[in-house]
Amino acid sequence: MTGPGVNRRALIGSALALAACERRADAQTSPANLPTLRSVAPFPVGTCLQALQLDDPAFAALVAAQVSQLTPEWEMKMEYIVQDDGSLRFEGPDKIAAFARSAGIRLFGHTLVWYAQSPPAFERLDVSRIAFDAAYRNYILAVAGRYRGQVSGWDVVNEAVAEDGEGWRDSLWSRKLGALDHMVLAFQHAREADPDAVLFLNDYNLENIPKKRATFLKLAEALLKAGAPLGGLGTQTHVAADLAPGELSRTISDLASLGLPVHLSEMDVSITRSEGLIKDRTRLAAGQARVYAEAAEAFSSLPPSQRFAFTHWGLRDGDSWLKRENAADTPLLFDDQGRPKAAAAAWIGGLR
């Protein structure tokens, strides 16, 4: 759906004109030149955010203007919620949920079970499987139950497939509750806590490691066969500007082949991760724009019922997690001041 009163041809024209303008003179662009992401996307468009960022009025205004879905970047994870004594805290996610409510933006939960996070309070549970299972269930019921009716969906299990695509990852959860069982249980507990949320399996590097993509799809099928209420597939899409053309489109259509909704859940396009291969910053920025355009086009071509949401892992370059790896990276659609880049114009231009 193009926003009311907005002419698509004019929009695409202005997007292309903006891209050309940036190419010509590295011009400073103003958000006024480009429609907002949410006004032109025919599906929910999201960003991640941290509660503290909402204290910055410019950031809050950018978010409210541009997106229609919010994913807490880390405050719905165990690392934030679970305290050393096993108690749970919710100030951060509650603040984000309140902002989402007041701005009329939907909320997405991320993430209930992640191999990378096993808080000491769980590690210390030196008990029988039954008691561990009860603690696991209680956690999922407490977190997913707290936001019941407020979230559109949950990343129930995050990054379960091994790095090289050979099988599944080992974790505290798999060791205590079983390789497949801990995932099936997580989906069942999440369903019990929130009957309406769409429940996702989410992973990364599905574009550039075909074996990982195949294992991911087989895992989804195994979960469905085991009766897990899996409702959608998330592909994070942390990619680089030199991603080979076609890989993103192939990934999105392979994921869609199971018939479930797809969430492009954490997109960013790193410049510096491809710098080793292409040294020229102008070519890298053009590559970045091309990757964003391909993602928008491929996602747009899914049947409407399978387009769950398209989430950017941040809006302004300066806020990206990738800055911690390399301060010179500029992986997002907006510059540090919140002005749209050529990448934003290309993303909009790729929408169908």
Chain residues in the site for ligand 9MR (CB under 6 A): 73-74, 77, 79, 158, 204, 236, 266, 321
We find the least distance from the C-beta atom of residue 41 to ligand 9MR, in angstroms, to be: 22
Looking at beta carbons only, is 90 or 321 nearer to ligand 9MR?
Answer: 321
Q: Which residue is nearest to ligand 9MR (CB)?
A: 321
We find the least distance from the C-beta atom of residue 109 to ligand 9MR, in angstroms, to be: 12
- Candidates 73, 159, 275, 294; catalytic one: 159
| CB-based contact 53:59 (threshold 8 Å) | yes
3-class secondary-structure state, position 328: coil
We find the least distance from the C-beta atom of residue 166 to ligand 9MR, in angstroms, to be: 20
Measured between alpha carbons, how far is residue 96 from residues 46, 80, 100, 196, 352 in Å? 13, 14, 6, 20, 31
Looking at beta carbons only, is 286 or 295 nearer to ligand 9MR?
Answer: 295
Looking at beta carbons only, is 39 or 53 nearer to ligand 9MR?
Answer: 53
Separation between Cα atoms, residue 238 and residue 253, nearest integer Å: 17
| CB-based contact 137:185 (threshold 8 Å) | yes
Residue with tokens 């070519």: 283
Q: Which of 45, 43, 34, 84 is nearest to 67 (CA)?
A: 45
Separation between Cα atoms, residue 260 and residue 187, nearest integer Å: 15
Separation between Cα atoms, residue 112 and residue 287, nearest integer Å: 34
- Candidates 22, 75, 207, 266; catalytic one: 266
Looking at beta carbons only, is 73 or 294 nearer to ligand 9MR?
Answer: 73
Looking at beta carbons only, is 44 or 314 nearer to ligand 9MR?
Answer: 314
Separation between Cα atoms, residue 12 and residue 100, nearest integer Å: 29
> Rounded to the nearest 5°, which phi and psi values hold at 202?
-130, 140
- Residue 79 annotated in active site: no
We find the least distance from the C-beta atom of residue 34 to ligand 9MR, in angstroms, to be: 25
We find the least distance from the C-beta atom of residue 236 to ligand 9MR, in angstroms, to be: 5
- Residue 91 annotated in active site: no
Query: What residues are labeled active site?
Result: 159, 266
